[in-house]
Structure 1
Amino acid sequence: MTATLDGSAVRPATDSAVRLAGVHKTFGQGAHSVPALAGVDLDVAPGEFVCLLGASGCGKTTLLNIIAGLDRPTTGELELNSSRPAVMFQEAALMPWLTASANVELPLRLAGVPRAARKSRTIELLDLVRLGGVGGKRPHELSGGMRQRVALARALASALHTGGSSDVPSLLLMDEPFSALDAITRDVLQAELLRVWRSTGAAVVFVTHDVREAVRLGQRVVLLSSRPGRVVQQWQVGDLSGAEEAETVDVVNQRLREVISSHATA
C-alpha cells in the first residue's frame, strides 16, 4: 500500500546515509538574488532508494549538487554518513578516447587503487551492468543505453571504499540519467538499475520529473514545490502491485499538477 509521510519527520542521524536540515540555497545577492531551495529537510537511510520529483526549475539538481559536494547551501545543515557520493548525469560523459574498461577504471586509478585491484574491480563492475564483453570498445562504438551502463559502472567505481576488502558503494546520486533515451531502452535500464541497486546495497537519490519512473524505481517519492524548492509531500511506494502502482502514479500526478498550478497563480 501507499502511505503518505509527514514531511517534517526526520530519522536520527545514525540511521542516515545523508541528512539535510533546513537547507536554503540562494544564487546571487541583493535585488538580483534567486532563491532555489527554501528550508529542505530530507533524510535518506542506508540502502534506501529515494526519488526526488518536481517540476523543471524546482531545485532538484541544486539539491543533488549540494549532497554531492559540488555546491554549498546558503544556510542549513548537511550530514553525510557514507563514503564519497558518486554522481551519474543525464549524459554519460565518458572520455571518448578511452575504452569502456578504462572509463570505469579511471576513478579507481585517481584514487590510487593498485593496478591489479582496479583491473579486477573494473571487470566485476562491467559484469555487474552486463557489459562483460565490451570492455575494449570506445564510447562511439556503443549504443546510448550501453554508454549509460558504462557510466553507471564508473559511478559505482567512484563510490567504492578503497581501504578494505568490503568495497561497496554507499551513496549514488543520479540526475535524470535515462531521460535522453528512447522508451524501450529507458524501461530496460530502469530494471537493470533496480537489479544493480539490490545487489550493491547502495543508497540512491534519483532526480526525475517523470512520475511513473519515480514510482516504479523508488522506495520513497519526495515531491518538491516549485521554486524555491521545499519538501511538500512524500509517499512510500516500494513493493506495489500493478494496480497500486497505477493508482499511486495518478495520485502523485494530481498532487504535482496542484503544486505547479499553485505556483503559476501565485
Structure 2
Amino acid sequence: MTATLDIAATRTGTTPAVRLTGVHKVFGHGRAAVTALDGVDLAVAPGEFVCLLGASGCGKTTLLNLVAGLEQPTAGVISTRSARPAVMFQEAALMPWLTAARNVDLALKLAGQRRPERRRQVAELLDLVRLGEAAGKRPHELSGGMRQRVALARALASTLGTAAADEPGLLLMDEPFAALDAITRDVLQGELLRIWRATGTAVLFVTHDVREAVRLGQRVVLLSSRPGRVAGEWVVDGLHGAPELAVVEEVNARLREVISSHAAA
C-alpha cells in the first residue's frame, strides 16, 4: 500500500473529520439580511460518505463553503481534523494550459511537496482515477467525464497528499456529476465509490438527486428549504434492491413535505 493510500487506516478513527455545531449563516444586514442556515448540527466521521440533500436554495453549497473555509459562519462552530479539505465543483475548473498531470501536480506544489515526491504521487493518483495514459493531455483533449476524473485526482492530491497520519482526508463535492450525461454520471458514481474505498477519505457530497444520494452515501442528511436546517437523516449503507427503493421513496416523500411546507409559509 502506498503512502498516499495508507490514509485509509484513519477510517477507524472516532473523532469526526468535520463537526458543525449550531451553525448559522446570514448574508447581508438589516431588512436585506437573508438567513441561509439556521442552527445546523452535523458530524462526518473519518472515512464516512455523507450525502447532503435538499431542494435548490436550501443552503447546501453554503454549508460546503463554510466547511471549506471559503465563508465564515455568522454563529456556531465548525471544527475539522483535516489539514486541507478539498472541494470539487460541477465544473472541473482545470487550468487549460496545463496537462492532466500538471493540473494534479499543481495542487501538490502549492502544498509544499518536493518535486520527486510530487512526480510519484501524481502518477499514483492518475492511475487511481484510471487516467494514467492521459497524463500528457490537456483539458480540451479530454471528455467531460475524464476532466472530472482529473479534478477528482487534483482534489485527492490536495486533501490526502499532505495529510499527517492522524488527519483524515476530507473531500467536499458540490454536485460534481450534475453537468454530465446519464451514462457518464452512472459510471463516475461507481468510480467514486471505488476510489473512496481505496483512499478512506471522508466525503461530504452535495446533491439534489435522491437516488444519487441513496446510492452513494452511507448516510443521507436532508436540509429543509431556506433557512436550511437538518430535516431528516437516514442510514443507507449497504442497501440494495427493494430496501434501497423503499428509502428512496421515503426520502422523496419527506423532501416533498419540506418543499410544500416552505411554499405554504
- TM-score, normalised by the number of residues in structure 1: 0.92
Q: Which amino acid aligns with 2:136?
A: G
Q: Which amino acid aligns with 2:203?
A: V
Write out per-residue CA displacement over residues 211-242 of structure 1, whole angstroms, 9 at most, x where no aligned residue.
Answer: 00000000000000000001011000000121
Aligned equivalents of 1:20, 1:160: Cα separation in 2: 22
Moved more, 67-76 or 240-249: 240-249
5 Å-filtered alignment, 1:44-83, equals: 44-83=44-83
Equivalent position of 2:90 in the other structure: 90
Write out per-residue CA displacement over residues 167-213 of structure 1, whole angstroms, 9 at most, x where no aligned residue.
Answer: 98610000000000000000000000000000000000000000000
Equivalent position of 1:185 in the other structure: 184
Equivalent position of 2:128 in the other structure: 128
Question: Percent identity over the alignment?
Answer: 73
1:83 Cα deviation (Å)? 2.5
5 Å-filtered alignment, 1:101-250, equals: 101-162=101-162, 170-250=169-249
Give yes or no for contact 2:81–2:168 (8 Å, CA) kept in 1. Answer: no
Q: Which amino acid aligns with 1:91?
A: E
Q: Which amino acid aligns with 1:153?
A: A
Q: Which amino acid aligns with 1:116?
A: P
Q: Which amino acid aligns with 1:31?
A: R
Write out per-residue CA displacement over residues 143-186 of structure 1, whole angstroms, 9 at most, x where no aligned residue.
Answer: 0000000000000001125376x698610000000000000000
Give yes or no for contact 1:83–1:161 (8 Å, CA) kept in 2. Answer: no
1:82 Cα deviation (Å)? 2.0
1:23 is paired with a residue of what secondary structure?
strand
Aligned equivalents of 1:261, 1:232: Cα separation in 2: 13
Question: Aligned pair in 2 of structure 1 residues 163, 224: CA closer, same or farther (>3 Å)?
Answer: closer
Write out per-residue CA displacement over residues 8-45 of structure 1, whole angstroms, 9 at most, x where no aligned residue.
Answer: xxxxx952110001000000000100000000000110
1:65 is paired with a residue of what secondary structure?
helix
Aligned equivalents of 1:152, 1:76: Cα separation in 2: 30
1:249 is paired with a residue of what secondary structure?
helix
1:243 Cα deviation (Å)? 1.2
1:15 is paired with a residue of what secondary structure?
coil
1:73 Cα deviation (Å)? 0.3
Q: Which runs of 4+ in 1 moved over 3 A?
A: 166-169
Give yes or no for contact 1:83–1:160 (8 Å, CA) kept in 2. Answer: no
1:116 is paired with a residue of what secondary structure?
helix
Aligned residues: 253
Equivalent position of 1:10 in the other structure: none
Aligned equivalents of 2:29, 2:102: Cα separation in 1: 43
1:106 is paired with a residue of what secondary structure?
helix
2:126 is paired with a residue of what secondary structure?
helix
Aligned equivalents of 1:158, 1:186: Cα separation in 2: 23
Q: Which amino acid aligns with 1:32?
A: A
Equivalent position of 1:20 in the other structure: 20
Aligned equivalents of 1:65, 1:109: Cα separation in 2: 23
Structure 1: gaps (5+ residues): 1-12
Q: Which amino acid aligns with 1:89?
A: F
Question: Aligned pair in 2 of structure 1 residues 167, 140: CA closer, same or farther (>3 Å)?
Answer: farther
Aligned equivalents of 1:76, 1:167: Cα separation in 2: 25
Structure 2: gaps (5+ residues): 1-12
